[in-house]
Every structure is written in structure tokens, then in C-alpha cells.
Amino acid sequence: MNRKEEIAFFIKAEAKKLGFQVCGIAPAGYLDKDAAHLSDWLNSGMHAGMNYMKDNFKKRVDPVELIPGARSVISVILNYYPTEVKKGNKNLQISKYACGRDYHEVIKRKLKKLLEIIREFDETVTGRFFVDSAPVLERAWAARSGLGWIGKNSNLISRKYGSFVFIGELIIDLDLEYDNPAKDYCANCTKCIDACPTNAIIADRVIDARRCISYHTIENKGEIDNKLKGKMRNWIFGCDICQDVCPWNIEINPAGEPDFISRKEMLEMNRDDWNKLDEKRYNELFSGTAVKRAGFSGLKRNIAFLEE
């Protein structure tokens, strides 16, 4: 085993000790195909109101622009499938990823520790960690690192852990032994495309945010498009429809991460509870969760849209 292999093996072992299911490594460099895909997507206006996606384009597609001297992109995934899910077609629904503690803080804490461990091994290493909070194409790097492939619903899919996974990156200035990209196993399946009630998956791996339930219930700060009336099912924060129907998610085991255990109070909320939700109760229920991204007024707007 040469030094590159030795350090890569060490990093992956430490990542597993920290609770990550899988760790993969890819060489830092320009993402040519992803750059073209992102450019076409932005030019078509499919980013809707997410104008921040236009910012720092070069940094999004080339980690060397983000971190001078970057040599390796270390990607990790963490399963978040909950032990309990809200059941019943009449219940208002929150995406599974938001039913526990905010993943940003959980994964950042683990990645910070991983970087500290790497620096203890080699104090000359410099780098930064990212969790959906900087211009980094997480799914593209995870796929290049062999952690899974980009499914037709644009989510990363792992053969072992499905798509209910969070992704994190650690970019460092050290050459390592690299992994091969994973094979695409979607084949001719179109279940995610067929199941989307708003037809937001307009083509293989192309999502039109203007039609997406997740966009409208989380990112959209204005009014929800009336064309979606009657099509949003009962989703008031996010949407899991395209993931729930994916064959790769049929036999996924619940996450072992305590921070991702669904809050009992959320699961027990019925439709009447949601309609009567006030700001004080909102803060009690959702403190420290990703639901805070929508804000109280945004969540109430979502509820009202379904109830009108």
C-alpha cells in the first residue's frame, strides 16, 4: 500500500467511526458535464426564484476556484431515513429529512472532526468542509466519488442506502487514492417521473423548480402558483413522492443517527393541529430543525394553500 492509498484508507475508516455510512474520494477538478447541465438549467429559468444558483458559477463547477490548491474532494453520505414516519393520506406531510435535528449542524460537526483527525495525521493539510451551504455541487462530487449515481429525479442514489441520504464534502490540498464513479442503475425505470403530481421532472435528471412542491414549500418566498392548486397532495414542507416510489428505497433500514429520530410531537400533529398552529407553538416544535427554513409565515402560507 502506497502513501496515497494508506491515507485514503485511514480517512475512510475514520469517517465510518464518525457515523458516515460511506466515504469516497475524487480528484478535484473542473466538472465539465455538470457545468453545461447547470448552465442550460439556469438559462431556461428552471431555477425559479433561486437566483443564488447563478452566483459563483465558476466556484460551483471547479473546487480549485473555491479553494486554491485543492487536490481531493472527500464525499460522505449519512442515511436519514426515520424510524417512524407520519402515516395516513389525510395528514399534512413534512419531508422526512426535516423531522429530526437540522442536518447542516449534525454533518458539519462530524466533518469538522474528520478534518481535525486528518490534520493530526498530517499537520500540513489544509481544507474546508461543506454541507449544502456553499457553491459546491454535492451530488456531482458524491457520484464521482463512487457513492452512488444521479437518479432521474436528480437525487443521489446509493445501491445500499437508497436516496434518503445527506451529503457532505471535505475539500483538501492533498493527493489521495481515488475511487471510480458508480454505475447508473436506473435503467428504464420511470417511476419517479410518473409519480410526480406536478410534472416537475420534465426530463431524465431535469427538474423544473417552478413546478416542484419542495421548491414552493421551502424556497419560494412569494405566493404559490395557483396552477398547483389540488396537485400538492398534503405536503406543507418539502416532498418525498419521487423518493418514496423509487425501487432503491423499498428496503432501506432506518438511520442509526440519534439526531435524525423524528420528533414525536411532529408525528402526532393532525390536520386540526396544523391549522391552529401559532408562532409560539411553531418555535417550540421546530427549533433546531430544517423546517425553520420556511419560517412561520411560510409554513402557514403552505397550510392555507392546501386548505383553501
- Of 79, 9, 129, 116, nearest to 243 (Cα)? 79
- Of 102, 220, 91, 200, nearest to 155 (Cα)? 200
Active site residue ranges: 132
Residues contacting residue 18 through CB under 8 Å, at least 6 positions apart: 110, 113, 114
C-alpha to C-alpha distance for 292 and 204, rounded to whole angstroms = 31
C-alpha to C-alpha distance for 224 and 110, rounded to whole angstroms = 36
Q: Which neighbouring-strand residues pair with 230?
A: none
Rg of the chain over Cα atoms, rounded to whole angstroms, equals 20
| H/E stretch holding 171 | strand 165-172
Residues contacting residue 149 through CB under 8 Å, at least 6 positions apart: 143, 156, 157, 181, 182, 183, 184, 185, 186
